[in-house]
Amino acid sequence: MLPGRVALVLICVLDALATGGCSSYLRQAVAGQIQLMRQREPVAEVLADGATPSSLRAGIAAAQAALDFAHRELELPDNGSYRSVVMLDRPQVVWNVFAAPEFSLVLREWCFPVAGCVTYRGYFAETAADAYAARLAQAGNDVSVIGASAYSTLGYFRDPLLSTVLSLSDRAIAGLIFHELAHQRVYARGDTPFNEGVASLVEQEGMLLWLETRGDQPGLCRYALSLDRERLVQDLVADARRELRQIYRGPGEAGARRAAKATAFERLRENYRRLRATWSGPPHFDRWFSGPLNNAVFGAASTYNRHVDVLRVIFESEGRDWSRFFRRMDRLARLSAAERSRVLAHIERPTARRSPAGCGQATAG
């Protein structure tokens, strides 16, 4: 999610030229990236160390298998990323701060000379992220702080495997590697929803192919079910977004709109509870719904899933051929954000996702 160290250093230089000094935010980003690069240990050396725990060895093995698959089958970059390891002393590598006005679903943006505009600010220390979020909240914004176990330097550097990733399940490790490598393959400056949409599509389709290739039919069907259920939840959220837009655009005192906003969020929770009651088992989305719901949370979720369905239509139209799909993405990335949005808006969203063979019918939206 954050730019690479080269980009951050360039940002600092340009920021210094423009304002007379590199901001404290950019300094912490540069320092955090440099520290990660200095801590890298080659995978071979970590595995050769007799003191390396078996759980860490298993995570590295899963990551290397997924990485080889990503290069061979998904045509994702092979530039030395994820061939080294960094052990962290914290549960997440970065914490991203999202913010939106009290009566708007549009995320606030922060713009930099090199990286362009992004809809979050990433911090290597949770306390710093919380402090900045508190200042935004005090100014009247809805805020959300979300930890991330990994991020991409967009190919500027050979990204390491982080201990925050290696503690995950084999499936989660594979999905994360596919997602982050996709950021290295396609990047549109200043368009976070498009970049995250491409990465999420590559992650999802890559996972389905990875599970199918491994002959893991139960795992394949469980993952397909999780995507179907996530889509149903996204539909509930989309309905709530439409209701909130009407509230925010409508007349009335701030207090009345604030009360209507709270009612809309509670209605969403109740709609989820009714949907969940129809499911015979996991996966569930209880953790997301049990946390605070606000405009920033909605905006962050939308950033990742806004374009996935239409990008899947493009993937299907290209015969599920990764070379052709990435060429289409490269052409889209070269457009302006407004032109890209117009192109994607004219692609009809499918009513259902194609279900893998042997897993039954996909759930319609």
Mean pLDDT to the nearest integer, 92-119: 88
Supply 216's token pair. Answer: 């893991």
Residue 168: predicted pLDDT: 93
Task: Check whether 336 has a pLDDT greater than 70.
Answer: yes
Residue 137: predicted pLDDT: 98
Mean pLDDT to the nearest integer, 354-361: 77
Q: Is the peptide bond between 160 and the residue preceding it cis, with omega within 30 degrees of 0?
A: no
Tokens 């919380």 belong to which residue?
A: 130
Return the exposure string of 114-149: e unless at least 16 CB atoms fall within 10 Å of the residue's CB, then b. Answer: bbbebbbbbbbeeebbeebbeebeeeebbbbbbebb
Give percent above pLDDT 90 in the chain: 75
Supply 185's token pair. Answer: 């393959």
- Give the strands of the sheet with 121-123, arranged side by side: 121-123, 94-101, 141-148
Which residue in 251, 245, 249 sits closest to 264, CA to CA?
A: 245
Residue 197: predicted pLDDT: 95
* pLDDT higher at 16 or 302: 302
The 10s digit of each residue's pLDDT in 212-224 is 999 999 999 999 9
Supply 136's token pair. Answer: 């935004």
Supply 99's token pair. Answer: 């913010």
The 10s digit of each residue's pLDDT in 220-266 is 999 999 999 999 999 999 999 999 999 999 888 999 999 999 999 99
Residue 10: predicted pLDDT: 46
The 10s digit of each residue's pLDDT in 141-191 is 999 999 999 988 888 889 999 999 999 999 999 999 999 999 999 999 889
Task: Check whether 26 has a pLDDT greater than 70.
Answer: yes
Determine the Cα angle at 121 with ends 332 and 70, to 5°: 50
* Strand intervals (E) in 218-363: none
Task: Check whether 6 has a pLDDT greater than 80.
Answer: no
CB 264 within 8 A of CB 103: no
Question: Cα(118)–Cα(338) distance, rounded to whole angstroms?
Answer: 15
Residue 237: predicted pLDDT: 95
Give percent above pLDDT 70 in the chain: 91
The 10s digit of each residue's pLDDT in 112-136 is 765 678 889 999 999 999 999 999 9
Question: Cα(276)–Cα(131) distance, rounded to whole angstroms?
Answer: 35
Q: What is the mean pLDDT of the chain?
A: 90
Give the orientation angle of helix 254-276 with respect to helix 217-249, to 10 degrees. Answer: 160
Residue 4: predicted pLDDT: 41
Task: Check whether 35 has a pLDDT greater than 70.
Answer: yes
Residue 90: predicted pLDDT: 94
Residue 3: predicted pLDDT: 40
Residue 361: predicted pLDDT: 57
Give the orientation angle of helix 192-213 with respect to helix 322-334, to 10 degrees. Answer: 180
Mean pLDDT to the nearest integer, 25-33: 85
Number of H helices, E strands in the chain: 15, 8
With a CB cutoff of 8 Å and minimum separation 6, the contacts of 207 are 171, 174, 175, 178, 223
Which residue in 194, 62, 215 sits closest to 116, CA to CA?
A: 194
Residue 2: predicted pLDDT: 41
The 10s digit of each residue's pLDDT in 49-87 is 999 999 999 999 999 999 999 999 999 999 999 999 999
Task: Check whether 13 has a pLDDT greater than 60.
Answer: no
* pLDDT higher at 165 or 351: 165
Residue 12: predicted pLDDT: 52
Facing residues of 162 across strands? 86
